[in-house]
Structure 1
C-alpha cells in the first residue's frame, strides 16, 4: 500500500486547479510535520520510561 504522502504528491495534476494542487501539497506537508512530531513524542516517552526504570533499579 502506498504511503498517503506519496499518493498526495504524485497524483495526476493535469486536470487540477492550482488551488487543488496547493491543497494537496499543504496536506502532505502537514502530515509530514505531524509524523515528525509524533516521532519526537514517542522518543520522549521512551526516554522518560528508561529514566524511571533506571531510578527504580537504583532504589
Structure 2
C-alpha cells in the first residue's frame, strides 16, 4: 500500500484534530514532492534527448 493511501485512509477516529491535520499536510507535501520529482525527471530526459539529437546531427 502506498504511503499516501495510508496517510489519507488510515482510521483517524481516535486521533485529535492536530494529528489528522498533520496526516493531511504530510500527504499533501509528499504529493507535491512526487510531482516535482516527475517534472525534474521529464526535464532530464528532454535534455538527454536534445543532446543525443545534437550529437547525431553534428
* Band the TM-score falls in, shorter-chain normalisation: over 0.9
CA displacement at 1:27 relative to structure 2:
0.2
Classify the secondary structure of the residue corresponding to 1:51: helix
For the aligned residue pairs, the C-alpha RMSD in angstroms reads 0.4
Gaps of 5+ in 1: none
CA displacement at 1:13 relative to structure 2:
1.0
TM-score, normalised to structure 1's length? 0.97
Q: Structure 1 residue runs of 4+, over 3 Å off?
A: none
Please give the alpha-carbon distance, in whole angstroms, between the structure 1 residues aligned to 2:13 and 2:49: 51
Residue correspondences, number: 58
Which residue is 1:43 aligned to? 42
TM-score, normalised to structure 2's length? 0.98
